[in-house]
Chain A
Amino acid sequence: MKEQPIMQVRNLVKEYPVHGGIGRNRQGAAVKAVSDISFTIRKGETFSLVGESGCGKTTLGRCLVRGIEATSGQVLYYTDEGVEVDFLQAKKQEYKAIRQNIQMIFQDPYSSLNPRMTVYDIISEPLRALSTLTKSEIDERVVEMARRTGLNISYLRRYPHAFSGGQRQRIGIARALITNPKVIVCDEAVSALDVSIQAQIINLLKDLQQQYQMTYVFISHDLSVVKHISDRIAVMYLGRIVELAPTEELFGQPKHPYSEALLLSVPNPDPTVRRERVILQGEVPNPANPPEGCHFHPRCPYKTALCETSAPELRDAGEGRLVACHHADQLKLKGITEAIPV
């Protein structure tokens, strides 16, 4: 069941123009925030996009939900009947139908709720915009969704300023879920929350996924959270996917040097377990002027002359894994060995 695709991204590109001259002479340089990315999301899985700031994961996520318009490429959505529709080209009725099925949860629970609307209005807005339900049907759905996301019914007439970050995120989740979507893009959905609240929201997301058989596209920079929640992970670097693998395999033995560095940079919260660390030199280059060849080569401890000139393709590496490294087969990279749960 999990093998069935629900969304497929094909050659997605998002460029931002770099403002140079004025008037019509604006052509020329463009920053490729997302450069030619393709992957498939399977029905019912949690697919994570990880990477550091500026790697394009947020832009990619927003292109998936058409929060911003991609420069080129396709985002195919598979309806229940198995029909393939390009969401980016969808118009009118078709657009509304798919729109109901692809929703998003935002990172910042403060700026993503309009401070001038009541919680009821915030949660019900997608229904009012997309569905043809009557007022009382909408009421019913909102109350039901509030209950499922752990919001008190009496909160509905309040304004967002009455709530803490965790509760606001519940409101955001209720809003995203109100149209019964099949796919939810969670853009750093728990990053802004305190640890104890973070756990509540992660558990809520997991419960809701089980209840509604949803597919999550989980965007995060926090590898501990990603590890906990995802089935498959795509590691991004400078607008490209460098590695895509099932969670266990990626953490157990990464195949791309950047994945390795990312995993081993995470502080280890267990002082009784010693872990290898790889500390990467340098910083992420400016996306407006990415390095030649493999984008990662200036920081890569394993680079060769080949890496400086030729960009590696994302290729099949067996076991359902994809990797974009010339030397993936030769390298023996370290992963994270699991500690026995205490």
Chain B
Amino acid sequence: MKAETATAKQSQDLLQVEELNIHFPTDHGMLKAVNGVSFNVYRGKTLGIVGESGCGKSITGKAIIGIQPKTSAISGSIKLGDVDLVKLKRNGREIRAIRGSKIAMIFQEPMAAFSPLYTIGNQIMESILLHRTKNKKEAAMLTVDILQRVGISNPEKRFHQYPHEFSGGMMQRAMIAMALSCEPELLIADEPTTALDVTIQAQVLDLMKQLQREFGMAIVFITHDLGIVAEMCDEVAVMYLGKIVEQATVREIYKNPKHPYTRGLLRSIPTIGSRKERLESIEGTVPIPINMPPMCGFFDRCQDRIPGVCDKREVPETQLSDNHRVSCFLYADTDNETEILS
């Protein structure tokens, strides 16, 4: 039975990230921005990566399409089918072929994705010409088609407009159009709605859901907003200080959070659906992950910390159920624990 579900899952596997490390050498030591991160992305599903600024979520997303900063040292594996993306040459032919056609990315700042010198249509057409067809006429038609599908009204006219003629929400749509123009299997969305107003954010999120149904692509949704995660994602990975501290389905995370950080995070957000006199907050601040000894990164801020255990060694990962894993000594296997205590 178990083997069966495993194979069933395997067939749906799109991307497997294993033991990903991204380190930056600094003047003060090695900064471990991403430290042993593993997760799978399944076809047509949405994985949310949540965490606060500096937790490494954004750089993980960038590493998948190979645009992490040059100064970083990367190790581990990111497997798309049989190809290990980590092993590909930076900006080489292979990764460029994958970028756009199989994996696409959208960013917080759509302005950064477009050159101000060319029309929106030309820029979207460029990637279609690169990956889908060599015929210019056909490419132009496909571009107009995709602009229409992301809800840009009057796409023939918009095709010939320059980025500065687009408003923020329209730019975000145009960037999504560019990302989806070659029907990628995986879309990495790095805080795509953070810079937008709520009403526009609602439009864009709605659009992304609808497009996912149409195109059937998988999405890695990187955000700090737990509300968006609840609305958009099937599965959530919570990151803290370069590590995934907990990963589960959305329902599971919200109903049954295990890691003290996840619990703290969920309690500290004000929600408009409920009334709390006082927010519970996580005390302290996020440490800088330079020269950290092997210990739980959340130790200093944790309410349930076990001194002498949590600050002494690397936290093991515990599989609580099929779809829930957590990295915390509170849930570590008893065998291990006695070993530590003795």
Contacts and interface: CB of A to CB of B under 8 A. Distances in A.
A touching B, CB within 8 angstroms? yes
Interface of A: 52-53, 164, 166-167, 194-200, 202-203, 206, 221, 223-225, 227-229, 251, 261-273, 275, 277, 279-281, 283-284, 336-342
Given A268-B227, A271-B250, A223 B198 contact: yes
Contacts of B198: 52, 221, 223, 262, 265-266
Given A53-B197, A279-B203, A200 B283 contact: yes
How would you classify the secondary structure of chain A's contact residues: helix, strand, loop or mixed? Answer: loop
Contacts of A261: 199
A284 B199 CA distance: 10
B272 A196 contact: no
A97 B199 CA distance: 41
Interface centre among B167, B168, B205, B285 (most CB of A within 10 A): B285
Interface of B: 52-53, 167-170, 197-203, 205-206, 224-231, 250-251, 254-255, 264-266, 268-276, 278-283, 285-286
Contact of A196 (B52, B228, B230, B231): B52
A223 B250 CA distance: 23
A198 B281 CA distance: 8
B274 A339 contact: yes
Contact of A270 (B170, B230, B280, B286): B230
Given A262-B199, A339-B273, A267 B251 contact: no
Nearest to B273: A339
Given A194-B224, A196-B264, A199-B281, A224 B231 contact: no
Nearest to B53: A194
8 contacts: A195-B52, A224-B227, A224-B272, A267-B205, A272-B251, A277-B202, A283-B168, A338-B274
A286 B154 CA distance: 19
Interface centre among B273, B274, B278 (most CB of A within 10 A): B273
A195 B231 contact: no
Given A227-B272, A269-B229, 6 more contacts: A195-B226, A225-B270, A268-B231, A268-B271, A271-B250, A283-B167
Given A53-B197, A195-B52, A199-B281, A341 B276 contact: yes
Nearest to A198: B268
Contacts of B273: 268-270, 273, 275, 336-339
A196 B274 contact: no
A269 B285 contact: no
A82 to B, nearest CB: 32
Give the 9 A-B CB pairs with smallest separation, nearest first. A267-B227, A199-B281, A199-B268, A228-B270, A52-B197, A194-B52, A265-B202, A269-B227, A196-B282
A273 to B, nearest CB: 6
A262 B197 CA distance: 10
A229 B168 CA distance: 29
A156 to B, nearest CB: 18
A288 B226 CA distance: 35
B203 A272 contact: no
Given A270-B254, A275-B273, A336-B272, A195 B224 contact: yes
B170 A283 contact: yes
Nearest to A285: B167
A164 B286 contact: yes
Nearest to B253: A271
A224 B278 contact: no
B275 A203 contact: no
Contact of A283 (B169, B254, B281): B169
Interface centre among B226, B228, B251, B269 (most CB of A within 10 A): B269
B193 to A, nearest CB: 9
A271 B254 contact: yes
B40 to A, nearest CB: 21
Nearest to A228: B270
A268 to B, nearest CB: 6
Nearest to B227: A267
A196 B199 CA distance: 25
Contacts of A269: 226-227, 229-230, 254, 266, 269, 271, 273
Nearest to A55: B197
A170 B269 CA distance: 19
Contact of A267 (B52, B170, B230, B255): B230
A167 B273 CA distance: 29
